[in-house]
């Protein structure tokens, strides 16, 4: 059995390496085609590209990973964390690949509905749901994970007057510890999310809360994302599984029928390899919590970054090439507005940078340590510092890689910089020319008129009227 597992892991690594090489080839074709087809212009000097084939492959790999470890017939809903890419066409593509939606606001719910995702494939999570949000979710039949005792009390008051098909669960914090990025670790002793399970009296309270509410049928947990070790994530799931067993034993029936294990699979930002994989995590869960996969419980997952990150590229023109203190600086149009986390916390969120010439071909030449700077008016707006790359010149292109999640879709409007256009691309199979590369507009570039309008341009005299 151990030898079979080792062989499976080695085969999986080989497969992921091949996927990475293929994805890099598609990306290079798309960059060249983006130049040839005029996606980069003087008025739109930065553009975001999404690899449709890569997204589809990641969705298929997720389905396969959990199918491989679960008993036949196990109910599994993979719900994409909308916050990772709040773009309707992306949600529609994932929906077509059998992925639902995890939403955390009325806006995200609106995006999921616009993408055609049905209520029974939608999950509402948030630590601050309003009564209006809860009423809407209950009316639609969307699954709701309550965050805390006060929210359960709110649901107690709503349910008698609002019969619903919504499955309702409770989020618990297993308090299993932090990963390397504290801001993304949600299972710490003092996390704001869920019921802190190890606090005095909390576990007994949770069991009684379920016994008092026959309509509570789910448990939910999420230990964090980037920087959280897989073993820590699996330990959180094990803790919640044991709680479900305790509740069901106390109830004398299978009251908890579904466990929502959250998402959080970290992403490799160091190479084209997609590691760790969903299959690795699923196998770890199976070895850590084997009875979770015996078919008695339905499962919900909420992956986001791991489905999209490797399939996005931000492409920007080098407007000027200069130097300071003897170090070259490429001043580009991609900075804090698209890569906010990287600019403000580069140690936790480093990005790979690829260099291309003005025609969109990979740049040749010896590596030279240089800075890749963004367009914003503060000194820290730098995507990469002292990065070895072929020397960039005015008119060349830089590509910020692995930016398909949380980067260009979560815009930061510093200096009123425009949101970039987003285009999905498909490539012509084995053809290595750009003739068959096709782009589809996911989101048009933001115009100056739109920036003015959303900045109060329709009410210029609001503060100067008598």
- Rounded-to-integer distance, Cα 439 and Cα 433, Å: 15
Q: Which residues contact 18 (CB under 8 A, 6 or more apart)?
A: none
- Percentage of the chain beyond pLDDT 70 is 93
- Rounded-to-integer distance, Cα 387 and Cα 367, Å: 9
Question: Where is pLDDT greater, at 309 or 2?
Answer: 309
- Percentage of the chain beyond pLDDT 90 is 85
- Rounded-to-integer distance, Cα 89 and Cα 55, Å: 12
- Rounded-to-integer distance, Cα 125 and Cα 375, Å: 36
Provide the pLDDT for residue 433.
81
- Choice among 40-54, 271-285, 420-434 with the minimum mean pLDDT: 420-434
Q: Which residues contact 123 (CB under 8 A, 6 or more apart)?
A: 77, 79, 100, 101, 102, 103, 142, 143, 144, 145, 260, 300, 302
Provide the pLDDT for residue 192.
77
- Rounded-to-integer distance, Cα 253 and Cα 268, Å: 42
Whether residue 198 has pLDDT greater than 80: yes
Whether residue 226 has pLDDT greater than 90: no
What pLDDT, in 10s, does the model give residues 82-127?
999 999 999 999 999 999 999 999 999 999 999 999 999 999 999 9
What pLDDT, in 10s, does the model give residues 289-334?
999 999 999 999 999 999 999 999 999 999 999 999 999 999 999 9
What pLDDT, in 10s, does the model give residues 344-359?
999 999 999 999 999 9
Give the other-Cβ count within 10 Å of 214's Cβ.
Answer: 10
Provide the pLDDT for residue 13.
55
Please give the angle made by the CA atoms of 328, 333 and 336, to the nearest 5 degrees.
95
Give the other-Cβ count within 10 Å of 159's Cβ.
Answer: 16
Q: Do the bridges between strand 312-324 and strand 397-401 make them parallel or antiparallel, or are there none, so unpaired? A: antiparallel
Q: Mean of the per-residue pLDDT values for the chain?
A: 93
Token pair in block for residue 293 = 């996969």
Provide the pLDDT for residue 4.
56
Provide the pLDDT for residue 184.
60
Contact 353, 373 (CB under 8 A): no
Provide the pLDDT for residue 3.
57
- Rounded-to-integer distance, Cα 108 and Cα 68, Å: 31
Provide the pLDDT for residue 84.
97
Q: Where are the beta strands (DSSP E) in 65-167?
A: 76-81, 100-103, 122-124, 143-146
The residue-averaged pLDDT of 258-278 equals 94
Residue for token digits 């087809």?
A: 37
- Rounded-to-integer distance, Cα 250 and Cα 320, Å: 68
Kindly report the backbone phi and psi dihedral angles of residue 10, in degrees, each rounded to the nearest multiple of 5, phi listed first: -65, -40
- Rounded-to-integer distance, Cα 124 and Cα 209, Å: 20
Token pair in block for residue 331 = 């001043």
Provide the pLDDT for residue 18.
65
Provide the pLDDT for residue 228.
79
Provide the pLDDT for residue 435.
86
Contact 256, 208 (CB under 8 A): no
DSSP bridge partners of 102: 81, 123
Provide the pLDDT for residue 337.
98
Whether residue 388 has pLDDT greater than 60: yes
Whether residue 16 has pLDDT greater than 50: yes
Upper half-sphere CA count for residue 281 (Cβ side, 13 Å) = 30
3-state secondary structure 144-196: EEECCHHHHHHHHHHHHHCCCCCCEEEEEECCCCCCCCHHHECCCCCCCCCEE
Provide the pLDDT for residue 105.
97
The pLDDT confidence band at residue 53, using thresholds 50, 70 and 90, is very high
The residue-averaged pLDDT of 235-247 equals 96
Whether residue 9 has pLDDT greater than 60: no
Whether residue 204 has pLDDT greater than 80: yes
R_g (Cα) of the chain, nearest Å:
24
Residue for token digits 């507005």?
A: 337
The residue-averaged pLDDT of 153-175 equals 93
In 3D space, the residue among 165, 160, 116 whose CA is nearest the CA of residue 143 turns out to be 165
Report the Cα–Cα distance between both ends of the chain, in Å, rounded.
81
The pLDDT confidence band at residue 1, using thresholds 50, 70 and 90, is very low
Q: Is the pTM of this model over 0.75?
A: yes
- Rounded-to-integer distance, Cα 88 and Cα 347, Å: 31
């Amino acid at each position: 059995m151990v030898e079979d597992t080792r062989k499976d892991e080695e085969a999986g690594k080989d497969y992921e390496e091949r996927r990475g090489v293929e994805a890099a080839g598609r990306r290079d074709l798309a960059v060249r085609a983006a130049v040839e087809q005029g996606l980069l212009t003087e008025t739109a000097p930065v553009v975001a590209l999404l690899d449709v084939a890569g997204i589809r492959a990641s969705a298929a790999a997720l389905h396969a990973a959990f199918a491989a470890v679960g008993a036949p017939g196990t109910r599994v809903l993979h719900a994409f964390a909308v916050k990772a890419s709040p773009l309707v066409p992306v949600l529609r593509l994932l929906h077509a690949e059998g992925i639902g939606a995890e939403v955390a606001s009325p806006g995200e719910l609106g995006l999921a509905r616009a993408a055609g995702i049905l209520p029974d494939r939608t999950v509402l999570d948030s630590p601050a749901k309003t009564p209006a949000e809860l009423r809407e979710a209950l009316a639609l039949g969307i699954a709701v994970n309550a965050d805390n005792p006060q929210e359960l009390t709110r649901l107690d008051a709503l349910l008698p007057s609002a019969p619903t098909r919504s499955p309702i669960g409770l989020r618990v914090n297993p308090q299993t510890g932090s990963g390397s990025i504290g801001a993304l670790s949600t299972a710490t002793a003092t996390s704001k999310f869920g019921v802190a399970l190890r606090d005095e009296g909390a576990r007994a309270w949770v069991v009684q809360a379920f016994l008092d509410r026959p309509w509570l049928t789910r448990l939910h947990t999420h230990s964090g994302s980037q920087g959280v070790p897989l073993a820590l994530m699996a330990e959180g799931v094990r803790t919640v599984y044991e709680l479900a067993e305790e509740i069901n034993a106390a109830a004398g029936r299978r009251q908890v029928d579904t466990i929502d294990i959250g998402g959080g699979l970290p992403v490799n930002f160091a190479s084209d390899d997609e590691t760790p994989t969903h299959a690795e995590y699923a196998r770890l869960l199976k070895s850590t919590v084997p009875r979770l996969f015996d078919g008695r419980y339905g499962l919900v997952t909420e992956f986001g970054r791991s489905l999209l990150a490797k399939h996005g590229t931000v492409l920007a023109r080098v407007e000027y090439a200069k130097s300071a203190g003897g170090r070259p600086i490429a001043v580009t149009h991609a900075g804090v507005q698209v890569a906010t986390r990287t600019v403000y916390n580069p140690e936790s969120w480093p990005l790979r940078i690829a260099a291309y010439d003005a025609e969109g071909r990979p740049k040749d030449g010896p590596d030279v340590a240089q800075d890749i700077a963004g367009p914003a008016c503060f000194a820290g707006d730098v995507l990469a510092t002292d990065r070895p790359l072929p020397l960039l010149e005015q008119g060349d292109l830089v590509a910020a890689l692995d930016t398909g999640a949380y980067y260009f879709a979560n815009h930061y409007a510093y200096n009123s910089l425009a949101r970039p256009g987003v285009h999905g691309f498909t490539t012509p199979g084995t053809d290595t020319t750009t003739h068959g590369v096709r782009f589809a507009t996911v989101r048009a570039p933001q115009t100056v008129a739109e920036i003015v309008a959303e900045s109060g341009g329709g009410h210029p005299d609001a503060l100067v009227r008598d």
